[in-house]
Amino acid sequence: MKQRYLTAEELARIKGNFYTVSIDEEEKPPIYVSPEEFIPLMQLLKTNPRLLFTHLSCLTAVDWKDTIDVVYYLFSEYLGAYVVVKVKTIRNHPEIPSVTSVFPGAEFEEREVYDLMGVKFTGHPDMRRILMPEDFKGHPLRKDFKYEKPAPPKATRVSGEEEEADA
Amino acid sequence: MEISFLSGLALWLRGEIYALTGLPILSDLALDIIGIALLLGIISMAAIVFTYGERKVCAFMQVRIGPNRVGGRFGLLQPVADMLKLMSKEDIVPEGADKVLWALSPALLFVPAALVYAFFPFDAGAVLADVNVGVFLLFAISGQAVLPFLMGGYASNNKYSMVGGFRVVSQMISYEAPLLFSLLGILMITGSMRLEDIVEAQSGGLWFIFLQPLAFVIFLISAVAETNRTPFDLVEGESEIIAGPFTEYSGMRWALFFLAEYANLLTAAILATTFFLGGYLGPDFLPGFVWFGIKAVLMVFVIMWFRWTFPRTRVDQILTFGWKAMLPLSILNVFLTGVVMCALGLV
Amino acid sequence: MKRTETYLLNMGPQHPSTHGVLQVKLTLDGERILKAEPVLGYLHRGIEKLMESRTYFQCLPYTDRLDYISSMNNNFGFAMAVEELAGIEVPRRAEFIRVIMAELNRINSHLIGIGTLANDLGASTGMLYCFRDREYILDIFNEVCGARQTFHYIRIGGVAGDFTDKARELTEAFLERVPKFLSEYDQLLTGNEIFTRRIIGISAMTAKEALDLNMTGPNLRATGVARDLRKLDGYSVYGELDFDIPVGEHGDNWDRYQVKMKEMAESAKIIRQCLDKMPEGLIMAKVPKMLKPPKGEVYSRTEGTRGELGFYIVSDGTTKPYRVHIRRPSFVNMQGLDLMCRGMLIGDSVSAYSSIDPIMGEVDC
């Protein structure tokens, strides 16, 4: 008894208000939306009394080598259905508005996406790395990420007298 | 005064030394030194036995086996292994610590913990310092134990220790009051502050635990709070502030804290025995100090039992409880004692 | 003049009650917490990245190491996601075995949750009682898969080994014990005045706050929202089973504790029904040795022990997943920590940590 996804008609009804929304795949229809219309769309999905997608189930990003898609899975208990919202971003400067104004609980997940994928969320209250150290370079989940081992710290031996002199 | 086994032994020893040297001062001095050595021996033995005992008791209550590797099936040499480990540990002084205060703290904590043992009547006549204001002095000295904790917490240059130090002050001062008030009823009945008089007043099975049950409960709770053991171990607060004032101590310095803790535990048990359980009094088939020991160990077991059953209270709850429940109750107890004594025409 | 100064206390990553390597920066005014900021990442192993270079079968053991307390549930979630992606039909017997294992593991995990809560409140005896009873569950796991932790038992297409008669016997014996040990905890902890005072009304959270923070699992249910994916989605054979969703009222630590206690009894009920209903038959579907799911993506979620455990897998038609994202309930729930700690005392912060019940392997992934 898996939960269904929104049908094409339901999606078409949502699309009515937004002109950058595009729906392509047949089976599991994701909604592609431009960053500009993204927040109003999420607002509508969450608050429209006939939709009520109040639960942000999953927030992540996929690196498609030319673009980075940010993926949102919303769930509505009222409809018993998921809706998948995707935002395509430019790979060199991935930047989309933060969804935290609509779903405050997305804070950590957005930070994680920023940390591992490098997508900047404008308007996020605390846009910092969350899993990697603050001074880490690069975004590990990108397909072209190469890990460079940091040079091991040079062992230095300080004799007791010098130590005292330093203090 | 009747002569018990221990005091008889002391008298005989004094007589022998006097006969050998002919100097009364020397015999007194020798006896004092022997007494002090004995007390220190009791304290360190108590620490050794109780570490082992506590582990076994705790293991028994927690459906475990407990120490069983060092020293045969029952792990009897575990305390020795512990001691060796502590002694061989590196002594680490934290950077930025106030070194003088830091080093003084464990030593100073041990002093009041050990000093109070001078006043305990282990048997009839077997008291190192037989003073007629024993109770008063006892609490005056043990009240000093607050300061070393705060010193250790402050000097460690560690926030956890600092929080622990603050907690110690608020907690120990709050519980000092109900502790003393709970004993006031007994002092009113006996009319003496000499500990031996208090014990003698309980002869014939009239232990104060029966006369003053409320005071006993208050005393026990306050004494546990004073020794900083669960449910009042906020000072150590293992899972909150790690070990409070002891966080930065290692090796033998830490062992001194440990020793003081077990000395305090035994002190609490001995006080309960002396004030409420009839001290060294008991049927004649055993000497007095054996009765004393049995009762004290029993009390230690009860306090350990608390520790392994109850969770820890919170800092605001412990203070509220101390000031709003324990203190009024102990004052009520004093009042009730006075009323009953008046009614019976004992005043 | 009264002048106070706030200070910063670093709790963890080496701290006895931060459940591994959680670091929390507490801004304190005396003992009162003004702000709690979790600092994560000390256990980050890059599992999502590692999975991209492993085949689907090789990915499975990594899920064991996510939430290492409830490995079975993680195996279950990942296996379900891949099965959905590749269109594999799982034999009915295997489904029942999976549910039994998942529920046993839920009890196991809640035992640890309650035990650590007790331990953090200073009642170490409570913890050891919980660990004692956990042994019986580990014995069952040992019997079916030979491991006591990181089981790798629920595989893609079914389960690794059959549910033997010995395992059934052990499970029956364990089910006998469940009400006994629950009442024992009630005597030791629930009825203890100090314990109740420490957790009633502490770290309370309303249903709206919890929903806003995307919280799931026992933490959400404690606020009174009866959302349980086992009921809501009815995945695997949960749709055929009869069980209740325990909910709390005030969303405080007490309710979280009570929800966990009641969920253990419910899980025992589920296991009982599964044992009765389990048919004979295969335990493994026919799965190709080289599993190449068709192009596409799937988001499959299960009710893990700590909330909604989701696996988002993108397949590019090869033997290795193109991208795996794991929605870790502990990670998302962690956002509630600040709200739960604010205005509480230092002593309450540890009970907040343990009632959120995060497993750092899962938080940091």
User: What residues in B contact C17, CB-CB < 8 Å?
Assistant: 239-240
Task: Give per-residue pLDDT as tens, B45-67.
Answer: 888 888 888 888 888 888 888 88
Given a cut of 80, whether residue A18 has pLDDT beyond it is no
Which of C7, C125, C347 is nearest residue B308 as measured by Cβ atoms?
Answer: C125
Residue B301's alpha-carbon distances to B49, B308, C129, in angstroms, are 12, 11, 21
Computed over every residue of chain B, the mean pLDDT equals: 83
Query: Domains of chain C, with CATH numbers?
Result: 7-364 (1.10.645.10)
**N residues, chain C:** 365
CA C322 to chain centre: 26
Is residue B237 within 8 angstroms of chain C, CB to CB? yes
pLDDT level of residue B347 (50, 70, 90 thresholds)? low
Buried b (16+ CB within 10 A) or exposed e, A49-63: eebbbbbbbbbbbbb
Query: First-to-last CA distance in chain B?
Result: 26
Q: Are B153 and B35 in contact (CB under 8 A)?
A: no
Mean pLDDT of the region A43-72: 86
3-state secondary structure string, chain A? CCCEECCHHHHHHHHCCCCCCEECCCCCCEEEECHHHHHHHHHHHHHCCCCCCCEEEEEEEEECCCEEEEEEEEEECCCCEEEEEEEEEECCCCEEECHHHCCHHHHHHHHHHHHHHCCEEECCCCCCCCCCCCCCCCCCCCCCCCCCCCCCCCCCCCCHHHHHHHC
Is the bond leading into B79 cis (omega within 30 degrees of zero)?
Answer: no
Chain A positions touching C293 (Cβ under 8 A) are none
* Cβ <8 Å between B312 and C194: yes
Cα–Cα distance for residue pair B115/B93, rounded to 1 Å: 27
Of all residues in chain B, the one with the smallest CA distance to C125 is: B62
Touching subunits of C (3+ CB pairs, under 8 Å) are A, B
The ranges assigned to domains in chain B are 96-343
Alpha carbon B182 to its chain centroid, in Å, reads 16
Question: Beta strand pairing status for A67-76 and A55-63?
Answer: antiparallel
Contact B260, B113 (CB under 8 A): yes
| CA-based nearest residue to B51, from B276, B261, B223 | B261
The single-letter code of the amino acid at C65 is R
Q: Which residue of C has its CA nearest to B237?
A: C122
Pick from C31, C120, C188: CB nearest B315: C31
For chain B, how long is the longest CA-to-CA vector? Answer: 65
Contact A23, A31 (CB under 8 A): yes
How many angstroms separate the CA atoms of C301 and C81, rounded? 8
Check if B298 contacts C (Cβ < 8 Å).
Answer: no
Question: What pLDDT digit, counting tens, does each position of B101-154 carry?
Answer: 888 888 888 888 888 888 888 777 777 777 888 888 888 888 888 888 888 888
Yes or no, beta carbons of C234 and A1 under 8 Å apart: yes
Q: Which of C118, C120, C346 sits opposite B241 (nearest CB)?
A: C346
Q: Is B163 an interface residue toward C (CB < 8 Å)? A: yes
Tokens matching residue B320:
């509220």
**B70-100 exposure pattern, b = at least 16 Cβ within 10 A, e = fewer:** eeeeebebbbeebbeebeeeeeeebeebeee
Q: Do A105 and C327 touch (CB under 8 A)?
A: no
- Domain A4-166 CATH assignment equals 3.40.50.1220: no
Separation between Cα atoms, residue B220 and residue B304, nearest integer Å:
12
Which of A162-166, B234-238, C20-24 bottoms out in mean pLDDT, i.e. has the lowest? A162-166
Mutation target for C interface from B239, B313, B316, B320: give the one with most C CBs within 10 A.
Answer: B239
Please give the pLDDT value at position B1.
46
Residues making up chain B, counted from first to last: 347
**Residue C47 pLDDT exceeds 80:** yes
pLDDT at B282: 76
Please tell me the distance in Å from C102's CA to the nearest CA on chain B. Answer: 27
- Average predicted confidence (pLDDT) for chain C: 87
Q: Read off the tokens for C355.
A: 């009632």
Best mutation site among B310, B316, B318 for testing chain C: the one with the most C CBs within 10 Å?
Answer: B310
Judging by beta carbons within 10 Å of its beta carbon (0-12, 13-18, 19+), is residue C151 exposed, middle or buried? buried
Q: Do C128 and B231 touch (CB under 8 A)?
A: no
Confidence (pLDDT) at A167: 46
Q: Which two tokens stand for residue B178?
A: 């109900």
Residue B61, classed as helix, strand or coil, is: helix
Cα C140 from chain centroid?
Answer: 19
Would you say the C-alpha torsion B187, B189, B190, B195 has a positive or negative sign?
negative
Q: Does C44 touch chain A (CB under 8 A)?
A: yes
Is residue B3's pLDDT more than 80?
Answer: no
Query: Which pLDDT does position A159 carry in this prediction?
Result: 60
CA gap B337, B189 in Å, rounded: 8
Closest-CA residue to B275 (of B336, B218, B339): B218
- Min mean pLDDT across B59-73, B198-212, C21-35, C52-66 is at B198-212
SS3 C11: strand
Closest residue of chain A to C44, computed from CA coordinates: A131
C131: Cβ contacts below 8 Å, ≥ 6 apart: C111, C112, C115
Q: Is C46 on the interface with A (CB under 8 A)?
A: yes
The two structure tokens encoding residue B32: 């004092």
Which ipTM did the prediction report?
Answer: 0.85
For residue B310, what is the nearest residue in chain C, using CA coordinates? C123
pLDDT of residue A23 exceeding 80, the answer is no
In angstroms, rounded to a whole number, what is the distance separating the alpha carbons of residues C180 and C187? 11
Max Cα separation, chain A?
80
Closest CA to C37 of C4, C10, C5: C10
Q: How far apart are CA C31 and CA B241, in angstroms?
A: 11
**Phi (first) and psi of residue B60, to 5 degrees:** -65, -40
Residues B155-206: tens digit of each pLDDT: 888 888 888 888 888 888 888 888 888 888 888 888 888 888 888 888 877 7
Subunit partners of chain B (3 or more CB pairs within 8 A): C
Q: What is the pLDDT of residues B311-331, one digit of tens each?
A: 888 888 888 888 998 899 988
Q: What is the pLDDT of residue A1?
A: 46
Task: Tell me the CA distances in angstroms from C34 to C4, C9, C184, C344, one per residue in order.
Answer: 13, 11, 37, 8
Interchain contact, A140 vs C46, CB within 8 Å = yes
B315 in reach of chain C (CB within 8 A): yes
Q: Which of C232, C237, C322, C323 to mutate to test the interface with A (most CBs of A within 10 A)?
A: C323
Chain C CB contacts of A73 under 8 Å are 299, 310, 312
Average pLDDT value for residue range A83-105: 87
Q: What is the dihedral of CA B236, B240, B242, B246, to 10 degrees?
A: -30
Antiparallel, parallel or unpaired: β A81-90 and A30-33: parallel
C:149-168 residues touching chain A, CB 8 A cutoff: none
Residue ranges covered by each domain of chain A: 4-166
CA B168, B173, B174, B180 dihedral sign is: positive
**Which of C17, C124, C194 lies nearest to residue B231, judging by beta carbons?**
C194
- Rounded to a whole number, what is the distance in Å from the CA of A103 to chain C's nearest CA? 6
Interface residue B6 vs chain C (CB under 8 A): no
Minimum Cα–Cα distance from C354: chain B residue:
B239
Residue B226 CA to chain centroid, in angstroms?
Answer: 9
Token readout for B280 is 């060294």
Residue in C closest to B318 by C-alpha? C194
* Separation of CA C97 from chain center: 18
Judged by CB atoms closer than 8 Å, whether chains meet at C192 and B316 is answered as no
The better pLDDT of the pair C196, A156 is held by C196
Q: Which amino acid type is present at position B259?
A: L
Say how far residue B172 (Cα) sits from the centre of its chain.
14
| pTM, to two decimals | 0.86
pLDDT tens profile A124-152: 888 888 888 888 888 888 888 888 787 88
**B:C CB pairs within 8 Å:** 82
Of B61, B230, B239, the CB nearest to C16: B239
- Is A1–C213 a contact, with Cβ atoms under 8 angstroms apart? no
Q: State the Cα–Cα distance between residues B178 and B223, nearest whole angstrom.
A: 10
User: Which pLDDT value is given to residue B93?
Assistant: 82
Q: How many CB pairs under 8 A join A and C?
A: 80
Asked if residue A3 lies in contact with residue A82, where contact means CB atoms within 8 angstroms, the answer is: yes
C331 and A108 in contact by Cβ < 8 A?
yes
Query: Is C310 in CB contact (< 8 Å) with chain A?
Result: yes
B35, B33, B29: which is closest to B9 by C-alpha? B35
C-alpha to C-alpha distance for C358 and C355, rounded to whole angstroms: 8
Nearest Cα residue in chain A from C213: A105
Task: Give the Å distances, CA to CA, from B102 to B91, B110, B125, B259, C166.
Answer: 12, 14, 39, 17, 60
Phi, psi of B88 (to 5 degrees): -85, 0
Residues of B in contact with C347 (CB under 8 A): 234, 237, 240, 312, 314-315
Whether A116 sits inside 8 A of C48 (CB atoms) is yes
Alpha helices in chain B (DSSP H): 5-21, 24-61, 78-88, 99-115, 134-142, 146-155, 159-190, 195-200, 208-211, 213-226, 251-276, 288-309, 315-320, 327-343
B40 C-beta neighbours (distance < 10 Å), count: 13
Q: How far apart are CA A116 and CA A145, in angstroms?
A: 10
Longest dimension (CA), chain C: 79
Rounded to whole angstroms, the Cα distance separating C283 from A9 reads 40
**Shortest CA distance from C17: residue in chain B:** B239
Which chain A residue has its CA at the smallest distance from C49's CA?
Answer: A141
Compute the distance between CA of residue B242 and CA of residue B249 in angstroms, rounded to an integer. Answer: 12
